[in-house]
Amino acid sequence: MIKTRLATPSRERQSAADFLDDLAQDLQPVRPIKPAYAWALTALAALAVVGLSVLVLGARHDVATGQPEPFLMLANGLLLMLALACSLAVISMARPQIGNSYQGPGWALGMAAILPASGIGLTLLHDSPPLGMLWVESGLVCLATSAALSVIVSVPLIWWLRRGAPARPGLAGWLTGLAAGSYGVFAFALHCSHADMMHIGIWHSLAVITCGAIGRICVPPMIRW
């Protein structure tokens, strides 16, 4: 009995030491991952999406003539801020640290929420039929095309997360979807024929949220480690 008691810890110590030796023997030099790569690839993907929207789908007349409507600039500015805040969070998530906080996207999302809040508010306050809701067909086209464009931007973000060690896959999924969706909607808005509060507030916002939800469902299984 005494023999067994003495033998067990020493066997465990030996076993743990073997395991550590194996890991140490397996060591190869690695380069720490550099967020600059992720930023560069994300920026390239975002530019590609804008190029695709403007060159292939065709830019709106006011955008093409260099005189975009003020409201379109405001809405796209908010979306760009949301995209950048979410990208920053996603890129930093690949290098986990206890104590990291990801509050930036929350504030950016709060700012961007002015758009759907205003769109829904205007729709409800109007006595006339809710125009924003009536353009369902063009709204669905906006939603589908923006989501398709967002896939391009999601690729470098997911690739980056897979290289790193994201410790909160669910949140990473949301943020990847929101970032990619914001870039996609930003790009599609340069083509979209509607630039009014109701359409942008409802359909463009819905596209961003939908991309976020798709990201929450699809991204975590791809980045678990």
User: Interface with other proteins by CB under 8 A: which residues?
Assistant: 12, 14-16, 18-33, 94-100, 163-165, 167, 224-225
What is the nearest approach in angstroms of other proteins to the Cβ of residue 20? 4
Per-position b or e across 107-126, b if 16+ CB within 10 A of its CB: ebbeebeebbebbbebbeee
The pair of structure tokens assigned to 147 is 């989501």
98 in Cβ contact with 183 (< 8 Å)? no
Q: 100 vs 193, which CB is nearer to other proteins?
A: 100
Provide the phi-psi class of 66: left if phi over 0, else alpha when psi is between -120 and 50, else beta. Answer: left
What is the nearest approach in angstroms of other proteins to the Cβ of residue 158? 15
Q: 124 vs 224, which CB is nearer to other proteins?
A: 224
Nearest 5°: the CA angle 173, 189, 172 is 10
Q: 19 vs 71, which CB is nearer to other proteins?
A: 19
What is the nearest approach in angstroms of other proteins to the Cβ of residue 77? 31
Burial class (CB in 10 A: 0-12, 13-18, 19+), 201: buried
What is the nearest approach in angstroms of other proteins to the Cβ of residue 38? 12
The pair of structure tokens assigned to 27 is 């060591």
Q: 26 vs 127, which CB is nearer to other proteins?
A: 26
